[in-house]
Structure 1
Amino acid sequence: MSKLTENKGKYTRRDALKLGLSAAAVASVAPLLMSSRTAQAAEVTTLTVADVGGPYGTGFSKAFYKPFEEATGIKIINTVLGPDPVPQFQMMVDTKNYLFDVALLNPEHLVRLNKLGKPYLEDINVTVPDPENYVKGSITKQFGGVSIFALALGYRLDAFSGDKTPKNWVDFWNTEKFKGRRGLWRSPICTLEVALMADGVDPKHLYPLDVDRAFRSLDKIRKSIDVWWTGGAQATQLLQSGELDMLSIWSSRAQTAIDAGTPAAIAWDQGLYNIDGFTIPHGSPKVEAARKFIQFCMDAKRQSVFTEDLACGPTNVKAYDFIDKKKATLLPTAPDHIGQLALLGADYWGENQLALTERFEKWVMS
């Protein structure tokens, strides 16, 4: 087999010159190379997109996956990421075994991946005509933010009502006034921030975290924590079943329970918000189709659609022009809510997650 045939679709002008072809010969081969690349792009019939499952898969399917299939003919295969996608992402790129072509990550994941000493992310090459309409940090060189979520305090209305409902983490820590079964996320991320706010730290001045103070605050509540939940679906079930009366929970997961008829509510004060965005693994053989998909997802009207199933806020605030006014009041980026939320420190967690996860697990198990 000739070198040209063997590397079909990857052959370049420089390769031709190395093989000693004349300039005229290179010119004659060039149309074939372009034809090969066009054919290669045309051969992309599927894209595997990894998100975190649950209502994300449902909402994104309606907003992005199915409309993209209809617009391009490229079928979206939806899969679910692991609890920590960074090791999975790293192994996939290192072995060139691409389990997915696009992945939903958070900014702190990108910080961690970009610290690893070699490229793990492709540039997404996304441009928008109205960047002023996107929440700050939503679109970067490697990240196309599409939704905003929050960790807040969820509680049962059959356990707390009237003026005796918990409003924030200070109330959650007050086990005398607010009795009931409690749960927290088994992760240092958010949980250390929650502990500091319960101890009186201003949400605007959380970072860098006073870690020792956070663990001292957790020491005060640990005997009252009945469940350390590990996944969003579990948190929904704990609230829905009534096993817990109050817990830290992703607002989208709490809203899923509320929409299903659970007598529950969300306290937004002292909550934390973060951004979900699509990324592309470095070296992906479907990088151009992946870029086309991410660009597709930046549209305001398309982002409005996922709010029918997923209680996350769109990153493109013009999406609110298409969202039911009543529904809009349930989202983290609603004006009455976003002012009560603090932005999760992506740079801090990108630098400190591994070490603090080890310390946190030792504390939980001690």
Structure 2
Amino acid sequence: MSWGAMALAGALLWLPLSQAQAEDTITFAGWGGNYQEALSKAVWQPVAKQLGITIKEDNTNGLADVRAQVLANAVQWNVTELTIDGCAQGEAEGLFEPLDFNVVDKSGFDPAGVGKSFIAQNYYSNVIAWNTDKFGKDGPKTWADFWNVEKFPGRRSLRNDPAEVLEQALLADGVAPDKLYPLDLDRAFKSLEKIKPYISVWWSSGAQSAQLLTDGEVDLIGAWNGRVSAAQSQGAKVDFTFNQGILIADCLVIPRGAPNKDLSMKALAAAVSADIEANLPAYIDYGPANAKAYDTGKITPDVAARLNTSPENAKTQVVLHGDWWGQHGAEARERWSAFINE
């Protein structure tokens, strides 16, 4: 046999194998860093083993990346993670494949975390935290307390973004948690004007908020619970309450036009199953979105006590409505930009 014939025979033998490998491989895109490393161990590696497939991982910067791939008909990711407002906005733009709820079990999820083409994976909470050297265990327990600068004097910090902060402002102004939506923007910004002079730092990243706590640069802060608990574990003099925390979902989607759609759907379904979601607390203090994860026996009562989505903690919090932010986020952010820069 000639070298050319041998090469051709080799190529023909290799081609079906490579196609099979491609058919059994998907790519997940997440937020990167320690967060993605935790989710890789808790979710994607177990899913790959369960389904007998290869799951590659990439990083995303958010909805704009998905939009660019879809509009260019060059989708590289099979499943990607987005914030709940990005999921709602992308669904409105038709950027995702509809989920097959015969494959994906949504029965354990809060309806606010499920759309036609997205489903929540985990929740983080923006909670009230305080310096224990200043307040001991008796820090503010409500956003009205946080706004009360006479009862709780000190340096304050809030996130430099309207999402979560507008909800906090309305709760501080006396709006009942079950009456928050649709958000009253005029009332929210009027409430924010009251606290603005007392905000020492408007933080823009989770790392920054944790550093403010660790260094003792602020006495009170609205920050993500995972960052607060991490600061606690590293010796920061800080405590927090889940009461009136704002529960924010990260959700999963399949970009429109993604290859291996059926396998992508199976992988997404496995990722949000109760058994897989119950792995999360072993790697990160963000709570499973699937409430049935707490029925698997994997999450002990002691662990559940520190998780934001455990039944006891979830009932004292407010779920951020991604559908509202998907529809009105642009207007809210335009007003926020004017407010923060005035």
If the TM-score is normalised by the length of the shorter chain, which range does it land in? 0.7 to 0.9
Aligned to 2:230: 256
Give TM-score scaled by structure 1 length.
0.81
Deviations 1:43-66 (A, max 9, x none): 246433222345531331122122
Q: 2:163 aligns with which of 180, 189, 192?
A: 189
Matched, 1:326 2:302: yes
Structure 1 residues 40 and 143: alpha-carbon distance in aligned structure 2, compared to 1, 3 A threshold:
farther
Structure 1 residues 287 and 37: alpha-carbon distance in aligned structure 2, compared to 1, 3 A threshold:
farther
Contact 2:277–2:288 (8 Å) recurs in 1: yes
Aligned Cα root-mean-square deviation (Å): 2.5
Contact 1:299–1:316 (8 Å) recurs in 2: yes
Matched, 1:278 2:255: no
Deviations 1:226-266 (A, max 9, x none): 11112222222222232222211122222222233323222
Aligned to 2:38: 59
Distance in 2, Cα, partners of 1:237 & 1:79: 27
Structure 1 residues 242 and 78: alpha-carbon distance in aligned structure 2, compared to 1, 3 A threshold:
farther
Aligned to 2:143: 169
After TM superposition, give the deviation of residue 288 of structure 1 in Å.
2.9
Structure 1 residues 303 and 230: alpha-carbon distance in aligned structure 2, compared to 1, 3 A threshold:
same
Structure 1 residues 78 and 139: alpha-carbon distance in aligned structure 2, compared to 1, 3 A threshold:
same
SS at match of 1:190: helix
Structure 1 residues 113 and 322: alpha-carbon distance in aligned structure 2, compared to 1, 3 A threshold:
same
Aligned to 2:10: none
Structure 1 residues 55 and 152: alpha-carbon distance in aligned structure 2, compared to 1, 3 A threshold:
farther
Aligned to 2:77: 100
Contact 2:42–2:282 (8 Å) recurs in 1: no
After TM superposition, give the deviation of residue 283 of structure 1 in Å.
0.6
Distance in 2, Cα, partners of 1:238 & 1:99: 38
Distance in 2, Cα, partners of 1:72 & 1:215: 49
Distance in 2, Cα, partners of 1:138 & 1:353: 17
Letter in 2 for 1:157: T
Q: Which runs of 5+ in 1 are unaligned?
A: 1-35
Deviations 1:18-54 (A, max 9, x none): xxxxxxxxxxxxxxxxxx9997454246433222345
Deviations 1:129-153 (A, max 9, x none): 9754444355544223221222211
Aligned to 1:200: 174
Q: Which runs of 5+ in 2 are unaligned?
A: 1-14
Deviations 1:147-180 (A, max 9, x none): 12222112222221143x1112111111222122
After TM superposition, give the deviation of residue 323 of structure 1 in Å.
0.7
Letter in 2 for 1:64: V
Distance in 2, Cα, partners of 1:350 & 1:67: 32
Contact 2:124–2:249 (8 Å) recurs in 1: yes
The structure having more radius of gyration, on CA atoms, is 1
Deviations 1:207-239 (A, max 9, x none): 222211111111111121111112222222222
Aligned to 1:316: 290
Contact 2:104–2:268 (8 Å) recurs in 1: no
SS at match of 1:207: coil
Matches for 1:91-240 after TM superposition, within 5 Å: 91-116=68-93, 119-127=94-102, 131-163=106-138, 165-240=139-214
After TM superposition, give the deviation of residue 301 of structure 1 in Å.
2.4
Aligned to 2:3: none
Aligned to 2:316: 340
Q: 1:247 aligns with which of 212, 218, 221?
A: 221
Deviations 1:96-148 (A, max 9, x none): 333533111244323312333xx310123254697544443555442232212
Letter in 2 for 1:348: W
Contact 1:126–1:291 (8 Å) recurs in 2: no
Aligned residues: 326
Letter in 2 for 1:364: I
Structure 1 residues 162 and 131: alpha-carbon distance in aligned structure 2, compared to 1, 3 A threshold:
closer
Contact 1:153–1:168 (8 Å) recurs in 2: yes
Q: 1:294 aligns with which of 252, 257, 268?
A: 268
Sequence identity (%): 33
Q: 1:43 aligns with which of 22, 44, 61?
A: 22
Letter in 2 for 1:344: L
